[in-house]
Chain A
Amino acid sequence: MNRRSIKLSVFVALAGLAVACAAQAQKKEAAAPNKKAAASATKDAVTAEFEKFREVMEDASPAELFEARGEALWKAKRGPRNASLEQCDLGLGPGVLKGAYVRMPRYFADADQVMDVERRIVHCMVTLQGFKAEDLAKQPFSSLSRTPDPVLLVTYVAGQSRGMRIAVPQKHPKEREIFGIGREIYNFRAGPWDFSCATCHGEDGKRIRTQELPNFTSKEQAIRAFQGWPGYRMTGGLMHTLQWRLNDCFRQQRFPEPGYVSETLTALLTYMGANANGHVYKGPGIKR
């Protein structure tokens, strides 16, 4: 069953649900505005329906439920140090969240490293709250029964940059250096199948099975390195961050496993993220 028919049947299910509600729900047709000329092909009408469906889903994605949980976690006093994360500096000053997500990865003087958002949040959980990095790395990805704390926090922080322009900094020498390293890693073919990131994500207009493959080397398409992430996956109702996505990519590339929140992943996120500079980030996304 391909992606289109899944989307259509979910849309139909939602539409059917609206109809099934009892008669006390009152509907009123909005006055029809000036109508544009009717779309010529059936394809346009179908595409328009999918666009409408996607807008509805993005407007109230279940990701927001995870954002709300992340907010509560951010503000709660937790860990061996019984402290909240409200003093965590995401690059714009302690506790400043608006616009922080779209300005990462970035260099942090206190760690003398470039860090992506999840790496930085884990850093704050360790330094401010006293959690152990090894514990957070044990089961860092969402499952049906559990969403790890860093995932909730990343989702909250990402939501705080909703509607803002991506501006991954390339000022500090380490930021520029890690961009170049990220580009090399992106193009590094290895393993039994000779795959690099670029093998699948190096050209426009390609797909694997029915899944579109954004070309992150292109400034046009690199927005997908931000847009849609962190993402609520409808299959299973799971919340996933880019740490999960990159991990899963390396699995499918038949590589060994990259460390959770390791520098290699920051390098890739810097390369792809900076390529997306200028685009507007719409907040956590939703996926099939």
Chain B
Amino acid sequence: MADPMRIRAVARDGVVNVKVLMAHEMESGQRKDASGKLVPPHFIRNVTVTHQGKVVLSAQWGPAVAKNPFLEFTFKGGRKGDKIIITWEDNKGESRTDESTIN
């Protein structure tokens, strides 16, 4: 089971700013290990963020995104105390879901 995400969500004037750090190897599949073999690709493919059942962000990533990716975005209509749920899913079918309360 992958390490938990670190999520910070702050609401101001009806706009919520979300910062999330994900723990993931994000292997592009292009890198060679010490013995010269290609390290197989292992990267997050989808990120979905929901707020009160509604999808507020949907992202499709590829191997260009760096290890331990940091994502920041804003959405309208969230308030302090509300929960947001973030899910990522990778090319191996592994996934991780974490939730956070908006501050």
Classify A-B as touching or not with yes or no (CB < 8 A). yes
Which A residues contact B (CB, under 8 angstroms)? 10, 13-14, 17-18, 20-22, 24-28, 30, 56-57, 59-62, 64-65, 68-69, 232, 234, 237
Between A and B, 26 residue pairs with Cβ closer than 8 Å are A10-B66, A13-B64, A13-B66, A14-B70, A17-B61, A18-B72, A22-B58, A22-B60, A24-B57, A24-B58, A25-B56, A25-B58, A25-B75, A26-B74, A27-B73, A59-B19, A60-B6, A60-B8, A60-B19, A60-B20, A60-B70, A61-B21, A64-B6, A64-B21, A65-B3, A68-B4
**Number of A-B residue pairs with CB-CB distance less than 8 Å in the complex they form:** 73
Give the contacting residue for A56; candidates B20, B23, B59, B72; CB below 8 A.
B72
* B38: interface (CB < 8 Å): no
User: Do A62 and B58 form a contact, CB below 8 Å, given A21-B73, A28-B15, A68-B4?
Assistant: no
* Binary A-proximity of B1-22 (CB < 8 A = 1, otherwise 0): 0011010100000010001110
Instruction: Verify A18–B73 contact, CB threshold 8 A.
Output: yes
B67 part of interface (Cβ distance < 8 Å):
yes
Residues of B contacting A10 with CB < 8 Å? 66
**When chains A and B are docked, how far (Å) is the Cα of A30 from the Cα of B16?**
11
Q: Which residues of A have CB within 8 Å of B76?
A: 26, 28
Q: Which residue of B19, B57, B61, B66 contacts A25 across the interface (Cβ within 8 Å)?
A: B57
Do A17 and B58 have beta carbons less than 8 Å apart?
Answer: no
Q: Are A60 and B15 in contact (CB under 8 A)?
A: no
Q: Which B residue's beta carbon lies closest to that of A232?
A: B68
Contacts of B71 in A (CB 8 A): 17
From A18, A25, A68, give the contact of B6 (CB < 8 A): A68
- Give B16 Cβ to nearest chain A Cβ, in Å: 10
| CB-based nearest B residue for A234 | B66
Contacts of A57 in B (CB 8 A): 70
Chain B interface residues (CB < 8 Å from chain A): 3-4, 6, 8, 15, 19-21, 23, 55-61, 64-68, 70-76
How near does chain B come to A286, taking the closest CB pair, in angstroms? 10
Complex Cα distance, B68 from A243, in Å, reads 23
Instruction: Tell me, in angstroms, the Cα distance from A95 to B54 when the chains sit together.
Output: 43
Q: Of all chain A residues, which has the CB nearest B12?
A: A30
Partner of B59, one of A22, A30, A232: A22
Chain B residues within an 8 Å CB radius of A237: 67-68
The answer on a CB contact under 8 Å between B56 and A24 is: yes
Contact of A69 among B3, B55, B59 (CB under 8 A): B3
| CB-CB nearest in chain A for B7 | A60
For the complex with contacts A20-B60, A21-B58, 10 further pairs of A-B residues with Cβ separation under 8 Å are A18-B73, A21-B57, A24-B57, A25-B75, A60-B8, A60-B19, A62-B67, A64-B6, A65-B6, A68-B6
A9 to chain B, nearest CB (A): 11
A62 near B72: Cβ-Cβ < 8 Å? no
Q: How far is the CB of B70 from chain A (nearest CB, A)?
A: 5
Bound-state Cα–Cα, A211 to B58, Å: 38
**Set of chain B residues within 8 Å of A234, measured between Cβ atoms:** 66
Interchain CA distance A187-B57 in the complex, whole Å: 55
* Inter-chain contacts of A14 with B (CB < 8 A): 70
Closest approach, in angstroms, between the C-beta of B85 and any C-beta of chain A?
A: 15
With A18-B72, A57-B70, A65-B68 already in contact, the answer to whether A24 and B23 are too (CB < 8 A) is no
